[in-house]
Chains A and B, each alone.
Chain A
């Protein structure tokens, strides 16, 4: 690909903690963040989740935002993660000419709308939250906090939102519309989507078991993560050290069913194959696949089948980190992109926790213990409702 794109900053917040260091420590410690519900107000107290430790108030304090200021949880988490990324890339001190903020989210301001919905309909109370309901409101709140963005937009493709944000940011840089882009996703837990996933009967009452025969479903999680993208030459001119290269990406649609993946994993297959072609790499070049691996029967078997279709006999090391972070839905793509890049930088493969036995449908085994290994190329998968399937590849700087 002409004019390589690099990642010059990244930031993350999830159940594993705030920041890259905490995340790395938790991965090495093989310590899951999935546990009983603490913050979310719901009657489903038997459903385990992975929550961000900080309350909204604590996040406001950390961000020096007055408590009186109206900011919902989804943009608050985004601000914390984006701040780490922006600082690492020195975007504020040494500003590229035009910067885009491409944000993935689906829940938007729902966590407040579900609290105040009867007020919204019946009286004048809490009406200030009406304008915070839609997905774009949170994106613009984040943009206002930093004041460095020349364009913003919001992607809402459910669980693949954050990877699609990355793809769109990359394309905008390639055509020269912008010089840098902060891309990723954010999602807080809401009663709305906890109940939604519950009606689909795909929530595990224990910690999830991706790719394991005894898997019964997923755990929801919350979090946010962002990457700073720019051209390699631009980073060099700004004197910023790139973390890795964004080598290729692809977005395809399964076009099979609103919530289930096709039996042969056509969408995931096309996404992985497309990312390899875009990066001009062979399947054998991939050292690690950070899988979508939610822990539902449908996802794990179809992703597994798609992997065998792409990689044949020589399946690279792969794992899902969903048992660490829970499924952070719209943020999952960037949360796992940060984890993938940490793996690339630190030469290790994160463990796929809670695996006990291979699935009947496909003969594959994930990496179950943290493994030291030199990694040149890592593939990151993100698949969503509606068959929105995307994949991207990060590579070490040559």
Chain B
């Protein structure tokens, strides 16, 4: 799981263009959306949905479905390990 978390962090930094950030700057359990933590927004959520589909073969039906999955990097990693098709 730790390996997958690190991999996801690297991908998140790249796809969301989080300039100057390293995986160490992202807390595994901190909220990704909202006012705290990474403070990502709805467009970031769409980018993460593309990331899941492209890199792990996971298709989310709609943007709302991302809410639970993208709570933190850890919840995202757990979801990926359970549902990945590649």
Contact = CB atoms under 8 A, between A and B. Distances in A.
Interface of A: 199-201, 216, 257-260
B46 A199 contact: yes
B81 interface: no
Given A257-B42, A259-B42, A259-B43, 9 more contacts: A199-B46, A199-B50, A200-B46, A201-B49, A201-B62, A201-B63, A216-B62, A257-B41, A258-B43
Contacts of B50: 199
Given A201-B62, A201-B63, A216-B62, A260 B42 contact: yes
A385 to B, nearest CB: 12
Contacts of B63: 201
A42 B43 CA distance: 24
Interface of B: 41-43, 46, 49-50, 62-63
A199 B49 CA distance: 9
B interface majority secondary structure: helix
A258 B44 CA distance: 13
Most buried by B among A201, A257, A258, A260: A201
B85 to A, nearest CB: 20
Nearest to B49: A201
A37 B45 CA distance: 29
A306 B43 CA distance: 24
Nearest to B45: A201
Contacts of B62: 201, 216
A257 B42 CA distance: 10
Nearest to B61: A201
14 contacts: A199-B46, A199-B50, A200-B46, A201-B46, A201-B49, A201-B62, A201-B63, A216-B62, A257-B41, A257-B42, A258-B43, A259-B42, A259-B43, A260-B42
A150 B57 CA distance: 56
Contacts of B49: 201
A199 B41 CA distance: 15
A200 B42 CA distance: 9
6 A-B pairs with the lowest CB-CB distances in the bound complex, closest first? A201-B63, A201-B62, A201-B46, A260-B42, A200-B46, A199-B46
Contacts of A258: 43
A360 B20 CA distance: 42
Contacts of B41: 257
B40 to A, nearest CB: 13
Contacts of A259: 42-43
Contacts of B46: 199-201
A3 B55 CA distance: 62
A216 B64 CA distance: 11
A260 B43 CA distance: 10
Contacts of B43: 258-259
Contacts of A257: 41-42
B18 to A, nearest CB: 18
A395 B43 CA distance: 40
A364 B39 CA distance: 33
B53 to A, nearest CB: 11
A248 B62 CA distance: 39
Contacts of A201: 46, 49, 62-63
A216 B43 CA distance: 17
A257 to B, nearest CB: 8
A199 B15 CA distance: 14
Contacts of A200: 46
A204 to B, nearest CB: 11
Contacts of A216: 62
B47 to A, nearest CB: 9
Contacts of B42: 257, 259-260
